[in-house]
Chain A
Amino acid sequence: MKIQDEKSFDELAGKQYKYGFVTDIESDSLPPGLNEQIVREISRRKNEPEWLTEWRVKAFKHWETMEQPTWAKVEFPPIDYQAISYYSAPKQKISAPKSLDEVDPELLATYEKLGIPLREQEVLAGVVAVDAVFDSVSVATTFRGKLEEMGIVFCSFSEAVQKHPELVRKYLGTVVPYKDNYFATLNSAVFSDGSFCYVPPGVRCPMELSTYFRINAANTGQFERTLLVADEGACVSYLEGCTAPQRDENQLHAAVVELVALGNAQIKYSTVQNWYPGDKDGRGGIYNFVTKRGHCRGDNSKISWTQVETGSAITWKYPSCVLKGDHSVGEFYSVAVTNNLQQADTGTKMIHIGKNTRSTIVSKGISAGRAQNSYRGLVRIQETAENARNFSQCDSMLIGDRCGAHTFPYIEVGNPTAQVEHEATTTKIGEDQIFYCNQRGLETEEAVNLIVNGFCKEVFRELPMEFAVEAQKLLGISLEGSVG
């Protein structure tokens, strides 16, 4: 029975995402290739002010002098940056399936398991465009009206450039400068779109931003740029991503997220990432090279990153906090799952500058199949950071014996009053644990699910309620077929 199951699983895996990567570039796109001309053209088509055009060009010129970093513990063939097209019109239709009947049945089965309503399934699978579904409902409009009343700006990055250029100009690149790193620099030159949010002083955003549609984060493009600013005493919780596997024709994703928290402000940024990981032999799949950083600029500010990463062939991602304000707090809670041939090199950086700054890192890495999962974390306590504290906990779980987990903690302490604690564990899901669960009536997959969810509990606790439930299901689906 088992062998049969495996076979049909393999067959399905072979079919998976068959429809996902057919590209048919319409005339609205720029030809592949990257040069100054292209960068200027992107900016022109987006009708951007001159300062932004020049900023992009500066980034591009700098990028030309850089080399792709090689320090991460991931392996992939060289990327041909000249083969990528850096601009597609926003509503461009890729050769989309015409109905759900044309969509990979395994993908639909996954949506089913996640309990995603049919209309949303259509959007996710690329059958219908988001606005086609929701224009009639106009939930989005109502929602935005409510936010505007409170003075909260929440819109696409492009729209923000047109409507609030002063805000964009004031904060863009102040957290992740255009020279920051290879992928961030590339993003600065060619970024397509993304989200922008500004919460004015003293305002608490009354809802989780971006959770109102599961799919509004879909189709965000390859070089996404997000900027979130919480002004003095403001408070906002933002959710990025989607538990459903997303159909996406771009292999390389190099996003940048910048967060700014002024005095007494709080930002909670949660991510669920489930992009196409490639087939079981590692073909296809998204390369996810993301730069995420938050600045706690003011005293008593707080930035909290929570992420559940199950997708992508390669993930390279280190959401960081720069704790500049006195008494500011940085948190990082992460679950990274890798199965089959997925590779993840993720972690965080906590840079303590202000007095009495505190940071917490809880990282849970799970590897199955032949996957490699690395945690890389930097805790730096600068001279000025009197009484800084950090607590880091990095736990790895291995499922099977062909996968790997690696931990690379870097700790730099420049002030003797600092207290830095680091704990690391590696556990293996034991055959004996699974048998114990089996003996109590639980199937092996359910058993793995249970054990893994127990392992990740501390992180799931940090997710917004509704998403925590979805994340649990997602984990189960990601690890399906990894045991037995």
Chain B
Amino acid sequence: MALLEIKDLHASVAGKPILKGINLTINFGEVHAIMGPNGSGKSTLSNVLAGNEAYEKTAGEVLFAEQNLDDLAAHERACAGMFLAFQYPVEIPGISNMYFLKAAVNAVRAYQGREQLDAMEFLDFVETRKKVVKIRDDLLERAVNSGFSGGEKKRNEIFQMAMLEPKLGILDETDSGLDIDALRIVADGVNALRSPERGFLVITHYQRLLNYIEPDFVHVLVHGQIVKSGGKELALELESEGYASWSGEEGP
């Protein structure tokens, strides 16, 4: 059974077609990287997968652990084990990060028929997860992403991922805006979470991240289509040659 199977996926935003026939299969235990020029549809893909209603799927089929995604609302996809680390995490004033995480963890557990964590158990769990992804205590006490620096927001996303223990982690440019140390910490976190029961889809512009998180496959997304797939060496190729050969006249 594949973790994620995307078949001929088409999607539009605000009536404008963006994804034009994506095919991609991710098996359990695999890490796939997607690279591609600005505006090629990478975030669109992650939003469609996560069930953002602002994005309209117009054709194709996506199976997540053999479940048809059309049957699952956004929160159900999350509960079923899909996690999106946002390119631009939103702020939620007034709600502490801890409180938010507790609500999220317990919502996911409820969906999966597992027992709820009480306050003490939750705190213990937070401690164990802090060993995987280091995060400052004051960030946990503060309102969700409110006033966090760009890098702090990204790190918070990965911490949330560590707390929610998804089957599939989609990382949308989590490396952008991270300083070198933070990049390491985030990559170490992801590597610690790598397991045969879990897969990752890592969207990035920089080969550098892939030195830390070694992908099994690299795909190039241009104009809403995967134009090339290969091993991790493809990322190095792109780094030196860019996307010029695929961009055509629509390109920058």
Interface residues in chain A, defined as those with a beta carbon under 8 Å from any beta carbon in chain B: 1, 427, 430-433, 435-444, 446, 450-451, 453-457
Contacts and interface: CB of A to CB of B under 8 A. Distances in A.
A443 B106 CA distance: 12
Contacts of A432: 90
A441 B104 contact: yes
B87 to A, nearest CB: 12
Interface of B: 50-54, 73-75, 77-79, 83-84, 86, 89-95, 100, 103-105, 107-108, 111, 143, 160, 164
B90 A436 contact: yes
Contacts of A435: 50, 52-54, 74
Contacts of B78: 438-441
A462 to B, nearest CB: 15
Given A439-B83, A441-B79, A443-B75, 15 more contacts: A427-B93, A433-B92, A435-B74, A436-B92, A438-B74, A438-B75, A439-B51, A439-B77, A439-B78, A440-B160, A442-B107, A443-B107, A454-B95, A456-B94, A457-B94
Contacts, number: 77
A441 B164 contact: yes
Contact of B51 (A437, A438, A443): A438
A450 B102 CA distance: 12
Contacts of B95: 450-451, 453-454
A109 to B, nearest CB: 20
A-B pairs, top 10 by smallest CB distance, nearest first, are: A454-B94, A438-B74, A454-B95, A440-B104, A441-B107, A441-B78, A441-B108, A438-B75, A436-B90, A441-B79
Nearest to B83: A439
Given A433-B92, A454-B95, A446 B103 contact: yes
Contact of A431 (B54, B83, B107): B54
Contacts of A446: 103, 107
Contacts of A443: 75, 107
Contacts of A453: 94-95
Given A441-B107, A442-B103, A455 B52 contact: no
A444 B92 CA distance: 14
Contacts of B75: 437-439, 441-444
Given A441-B79, A450-B92, A455-B94, A436 B103 contact: no
A182 B85 CA distance: 58
A438 B107 CA distance: 10
B201 to A, nearest CB: 14
